[in-house]
């Protein structure tokens, strides 16, 4: 998700370095993102689905909207 935000230049008109973005989100979410570049390499090396988390977020949001539409 973080790389998607970075690549799409969603924050600060794209004027933010990846490391700075990772530090901010790491502090905000209380998670360790100090090795963000290795995390990216691990994601790239996945065989099946490299965007599993993002895909599950999309599926979950679409499911919620479908359920809300039925009301």
Which residues touch 3 (CB under 8 Å, ≥6 apart)? Answer: 18, 40, 43
pLDDT of residue 58: 98
pLDDT of residue 28: 97
Given a cut of 70, the residues of the chain with pLDDT beneath it are none
What gap in Å lies between CA 40 and CA 31, rounded to an integer? 16
* Token output for 52: 């599993």
Prediction pTM value: 0.80
Cβ atoms of residues 40 and 19 within 8 Å: no
pLDDT of residue 14: 93
Q: What is the Rg, in whole angstroms, of the alpha carbon atoms belonging to the chain? A: 15
């Amino acid at each position: 998700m973080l790389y998607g935000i970075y690549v799409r230049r969603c924050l600060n008109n794209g004027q933010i370095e990846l490391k700075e973005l990772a530090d901010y989100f790491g502090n905000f979410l209380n998670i360790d993102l100090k090795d963000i570049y290795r995390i990216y390499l691990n994601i790239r090396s996945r065989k099946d689905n490299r965007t599993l988390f993002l895909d599950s977020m999309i599926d979950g949001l679409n499911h919620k909207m479908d359920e809300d539409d039925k009301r």
